[in-house]
Amino acid sequence: MTTDTQTAGYWYEERSERDRAREVLEALRTYRAAERAMRRRTRDEMSMGENELLALRYLFRQPGHAAAPAALVAYLGISPAATSVLIDRLERSGHVQRDLDASGHPTAVRATEHADVDVRHTLSRMHELMYSVASGMDAQAQANVADFLRAMADAVDGLEPSDAAEQQQG
């Protein structure tokens, strides 16, 4: 009598395409959990909330590291009043400054040199380790991972709220 294990392989059972896909998704979930833990440690080390870190990350990606307050409102998805309070906190901690027009109204929020130094100090070791992992891959693996992550981002971004609720129930 032969078993499935004996017919599938000598010492191991061949994995199905679904098993391999499940393994990839589980590895992605494990990475996301590690990233959430890293973000929590970063917030604790920098004494900031999630939205404050998101605001700084957004500003660092903008030309001149500055953006209109309304752009932060749209990016963070919070009210103008909540954004103003967030900017006040970042300003008090020395991480941002407001650019004002002649009448004293804010025209832009700008990340400061202090913010750049603080973020680099806090995140540089983690970025070095991540870069080391990515640069240790061959060119084809790098391309495959980049394509996979872009496709996953597109899949998640394309999921409508009603689709997400249905999938959670299903």
Is residue 169 domain-resident?
no
Whether 13 maps to a domain, the answer reads no
Q: Tell me: pLDDT of 8 over 80.
A: no
Yes or no: say if 86 and 69 are a contact pair by the CB < 8 Å rule. no
Give the chain's domain count.
Answer: 1
Is 123 a member of any domain? yes
CA triple 25-27-28, angle to 5 deg? 60
Burial class, 86, CB count within 10 angstroms (exposed 0-12 / middle 13-18 / buried 19+): buried
User: What is the span of the domain harbouring residue 93?
Assistant: 48-145
Flag whether pLDDT at 35 surpasses 80.
yes
Task: Convert the pLDDT of each residue in 80-130 to its tens digit.
Answer: 999 999 999 999 999 999 998 888 888 899 999 999 998 888 888 888 999
Domain-embedded: residue 55: yes
pTM: 0.65
CB 109 within 8 A of CB 96: yes
The CATH number for 130's domain is 1.10.10.10
d(CA 134, CA 7): 37
Does residue 14 sit within a domain? no
20: in domain: no
In a domain, 76, yes or no: yes
130-169 tens-digit pLDDT: 999 999 999 999 999 999 999 999 988 887 665 545 555 5
Tell me phi and psi for residue 11, to 5 degrees: -110, -10
Stated length of the chain: 170
- 74 in Cβ contact with 37 (< 8 Å): no
pLDDT at 16: 86
Give the DSSP per-residue string, 50-104. Answer: HHHHHHHHHHHTSGGGEE-HHHHHHHHT--HHHHHHHHHHHHHTTSEEEEE-TTS
Residue 134 amino acid letter: A
Question: Is 165 contained in some domain?
Answer: no
